[in-house]
Amino acid sequence: MAAIEMSKDIRGRRQDKWNEFWQRLKASRTPWLYIAPAGFAMLLVTLFPYIFQIWMALTDYRVKNLRFNLLDSASWAKYAPPFVGLQNFVKILTNRLAIENYDFWRLLLFNVTWTVSNVFFHVVLGVIIALALNSKGLIGRRIYRALFVLPWAMPGYVAALTWRNMYDDRFGAINQLLGIVNHYLGTSFPTNTRWFVVTQPPIGGPLGFLPLAFYCVLLANVWLGWPFMSVVATGALQAIPKELYEAASIDGASGWQQLWKITIPLIRPAMVPAIMLGTIWTFNQFNVIFFISQGNPFGRTEILITQSYKLVSEQRLYGAAAAFAIVVFAILLLFTLINNRITRATEAYYA
């Protein structure tokens, strides 16, 4: 008797749970309808290539396999690459790839340092300059804003090529500029520095693994990257109701307090996604490294993506390059999940 009642109870509870789930599912229909067009476009263009790439990473894909066409069965037998399992991954992680100066863990350390330092400067400079441009009564605001978008407006690899030429040891603008500074200020900076050849790190100690070339590419990429953060911050600053500052002033809050208690917390929701995207973009910033330092000296400014490009362009190891891409992906995913845990970027506003 009791057993029957209990099972009824469980069934009832299950029914409740099912109903609740059904309700939530029904409520999920509207939002998913809004997402569907974007989701469909993403699936079409990215999902299939990604699956293909995962398969490629498990094979020894070389030049001769390029004729392989997944959708043309006639090409399968002839051009399908041999399956090698996780061999590509093992080679990558245990430094058994036949490229010069290859060391995965050094690359990873450098890539993370590169990303963190860049994003830090992008955000700090971007926000500071956005705040300066947003201050009341500033003369020439529109002109400054238009000028500051220029680094961003230039095609990325044009900017990269320009910076490379500017770092030229004999005629580069940087060395010439130092010469002019020496001339007028009586200083004695060296004016023939070979920026990407010097192996002596400018800062020793724990930062001793960063050659002079790192600071050069950092400068170039900060120049390229801050305007974006500044534009996002400018947009977010507009959404702060002026009344908050008025009220704070009346309550006697200083400008510094207003910055930390009003401005920063209120632009945070808009900045967090930009920072997460900026992190991913910088982690895979190909142009700057590839065109400016080219990994010099001795591959010490190489990042993962430029290294994987060399696998394709120099060694024609497509399979290994695909595996490399997946390793990069895994690292970024980890990065983003940790980031998301800290910043709660995916929370809904209504949550």
**Interface with other proteins, residue 74, by CB under 8 A:** no
159 touches other proteins by CB under 8 A = yes
Q: What mask, x for binding other proteins by CB under 8 A, covers residues 210 to 239?
A: -------------x----x--xx-xxxxxx
Tell the smallest beta-carbon distance from residue 311 to other proteins (Å): 9
Neighbours of 145 (CB within 10 A): 17
Name which of 307, 106, 102, 104 is nearest 208 in CA terms. 106
> How many residues bind to other proteins according to rule CB under 8 A?
114
Q: Does 193 bind other proteins (CB under 8 A)?
A: no
Side-chain half-sphere exposure of 141, counting CA atoms within 13 A: 10
User: 83: which DSSP letter?
Assistant: B
19 binds other proteins, rule: CB under 8 A: no
Both tokens of residue 19?
């109903």
**Other residues' Cβ atoms within 10 Å of the Cβ of residue 296:** 19
In the complex, minimum distance from the CB of residue 45 to other proteins, in angstroms, rounded to a whole number? 4
* Residues 217/292, Cβ–Cβ less than 8 Å: yes
Question: Is 265 a binder of other proteins (CB under 8 A)?
Answer: no
Site string (32-61) toward other proteins, x via CB under 8 A: xxxx-xxx-xx-xxxxxxx-xx--x-----
**Contact letters for other proteins, residues 96-135 (x by CB under 8 A):** ---------------------------------x--xx-x
Per CB under 8 A, the list member of 70, 80, 98, 124 interacting with other proteins is 70
75 part of the interface to other proteins, by CB under 8 A: no
How many CB atoms are located within 10 Å of the residue 307 CB?
A: 23
Binding to other proteins (CB under 8 A) within 302-321 occurs at: 304-305, 308-309, 312, 318, 321
Q: Is 245 in the site for other proteins (CB under 8 A)?
A: no
Chain-centre distance of CA 7, in angstroms? Answer: 54
Residues belonging to the chain: 351
Closer of 137 and 206 to other proteins (Cβ): 137
Structure tokens at 89: 């991954």
Nearer to other proteins, 201 or 286 (CB): 286
Of 10 and 338, which has the nearer Cβ to other proteins? 338
User: Closest Cα partner for 291 from 198, 199, 171, 162?
Assistant: 162
- CA separation for the pair 78, 90 (Å, rounded): 27
Question: Measuring CA to CA, which residue among 301, 298, 282 is closest to residue 164?
Answer: 301
**Is 280 near other proteins (CB under 8 A)?**
yes
